[in-house]
Structure 1
Amino acid sequence: MRLLIIEDEQALLDQLAKLLEREGYTVEKATNGEDGGWMASEFALDLAIVDLGLPDISGVEVIRQLRADDKSYPVLILTARDGWQAKVEALEAGADDYVVKPFHEEELLARVRALLRRASGWASAEICSGPFTLDTRGHSLKRGDTSIELTAFEYKVLEYLLLHAGEVISKTRLSEHIYDEETERDSNVIEVFIRRLRTKLDPDDSLHPIETLRGQGYRWSLPRG
């Protein structure tokens, strides 16, 4: 996978490049919006990481331009700004996610991986797997023609497992993606959600859509539709 980082703070740029290269990514770098914008439009990329506070052309303008050039790969923005307005502006311009500086390296890596997986997999608002159809717009689930009622957290767990079908998802990773940062996380609660989902999705115990891999986590086992 080929990534572009546009960041004017040289030390942070080098830090991010080394981090991502250690993870096996090929990394291109730019220290300003003009160069970064050109690279974002001309290079074959899988994802761009864009700082909003660039010294010449703003990160938001870079994002607007690459979307105008019909570049559809994911964009993760970096921002030191706490205000929600800057984040909303960048998301409206076409960014897919954001990380606020200072950030934990593992958080950034997790967000990069998630964006890449989504870009290479589930693009439709309706996710179909086996007899199940999950409508990500309406937050609803059907097994065949039968609707299945889910609580908000049951839906979050199921959506994440479906988006990463075939992957082993640990309790920790699942918790990180269904809870906000202020919520105290309890792995026992995840087990409760999984148990309730199994009862609702597979009451006759015939499909086994959610596998448990002891000591590792859970995996959605049914094929994509």
Structure 2
Amino acid sequence: MRYLVAETTWKLMGLSQALAESGTLVTRCDQGEDIDAFQSTGEHDLVVLDAGALGKHTTLARLRDARPAQPVCVLARQPDHRKVAEMLNAGADMVLPEDIPLPELVARLHALSRRAHGVALGEMDCGPLRFDLESRRVHLEDVTLSLSPKLYEILEFLALRPGRLATREQLLNHVYGFENEPAPRVFDVYLCNLRTQLANVAGALTIETVRGSGYRMMVREAGTADGSIAA
């Protein structure tokens, strides 16, 4: 997954580092006035910001308008119950004290982001595949697929959105953020390698190319012949 972190405090700078060390992709916004631009142009599973940025650089309403389904977490300095209620009612999904220990904060953010995709635990099944979202590994029965970090990110992105079309731009943005993207041919090689890894389960799970539009993961329900998507 990829998180947008507005690094306007030392705590959030440390959080970015802790997230990156956990394997999470991080888009770092180090200028408060750029938060809205990063939010509207990027593809993120979660945005984290300090309460001090609200009103000064952005608002919860603007963040929600840009990405209605994306979770928003706010860190606040000794928030009282009234302030927490105000921010939750204004659009925040989670409000946490800024002095929360980093390991707990990272765990809370991971729980919030995956539950936004309907995944309650740190593992999820997608057809015959089992994803360990914490260790960032994918298992097929007793075999662990040999995936590079970028291949894992592409596969995870599609698996969290089964049946939904993902454009090439969305996938590139997710994997690379605002860094230099590879040549189109390189991305085609990634998809080819990923399909090779999934060749043994092609009857149950496939990555379809929708010409001129993008890609989507199709998961066939056990016992069906019409390509139904698993819920």
Measured against the shorter chain, the TM-score band is 0.5 to 0.7
**Is the contact between residue 46 and residue 116 of structure 1 (CA under 8 Å) also seen in structure 2?**
no
Distance 1:163 1:125 in 2: 13
Partner letter of residue 98 of structure 2?
V
Q: Which has the larger radius of gyration?
A: 1
Quote the residue 2:55 is aligned against. 10
Specify which of 79, 94, 105 is matched with residue 94 of structure 1: 105
The answer on whether the counterparts of 1:6 and 1:36 sit within 8 Å (CA) in structure 2 is no
Structure 2 residues without counterparts, runs of 5 or longer: 1-48, 220-228
RMSD: 3.9
Per-residue CA deviations over 1:133-161 (Å, capped at 9, x if unaligned) read 12223333222333332222211211121
- Corresponding residue number in structure 1 for 2:93: 47
Relative contact order, higher structure (CA 8 A, sep 6+): 2
In structure 2, the partner of 1:221 is 218
Whether contact under 8 Å (1:165, 1:221) holds in the other structure is: yes
Correspondence for 1:137? 134
1:38/1:166 CA distance change after superposition, 3 Å? farther
TM-score, length-normalised on structure 2?
0.53
- Give the structure 2 partner of residue 104 of structure 1: none
The residue type paired with residue 208 of structure 2 is E
TM-score, normalised to structure 1's length?
Answer: 0.55
* Structure 1 residue 128 displacement after superposition: 0.7
1:33 CA drift (Å): 5.4
Q: Deviations over 1:68-123 (max 9, x none)?
A: xxxxxxxxxxxxxxxxxxxxx6x54626899xxxxxxxxxxxxxxxx667424123
Instruction: Report which stretch shifted further, 39-48 or 117-126.
Output: 39-48
Deviation at residue 183 of structure 1 after TM alignment: 3.4
Measured against aligned partners, the alpha-carbon deviations of 1:171-200 in whole angstroms (never above 9, x if no partner) come to 111112222544333333222211211121
Once the two structures are superposed, the pairs formed by residues 59-74 of structure 1 within 5 Å of their partners are 60-61=98-99, 64=100
Which blocks of at least 5 consecutive residues in structure 1 are unaligned? 51-58, 65-88, 99-114
Report what 2:82 is aligned to. Answer: 38
- Structure 2 distance, partners of 1:183, 1:97, is 30
Distance 1:147 1:224 in 2: 22
CA distance in 1, matches of 2:77, 2:160: 33
Q: For 1:211 and 1:186, how far apart are their aligned partners in 2?
A: 21
Structure 2: distance between partners of 1:136 and 1:157: 13
How much identity, in percent, do the aligned residues show? 26
Question: Matched residue of 1:133: which SS?
Answer: strand
1:126 touches 1:136 (CA, 8 Å); kept in 2? yes
C-alpha displacement at 1:24, in angstroms? 5.5
Q: Could you tell me how far 1:214 is from its partner in structure 2? A: 1.9
Q: Equivalences for 1:1-225 in 2 at 5 Å?
A: 6-7=51-52, 10=55, 12-14=57-59, 17-18=61-62, 20-21=64-65, 38-40=82-84, 43=88, 47-48=93-94, 60-61=98-99, 64=100, 91-92=102-103, 94=105, 118-179=115-176, 181-203=178-200, 205-222=202-219, 223-224=229-230
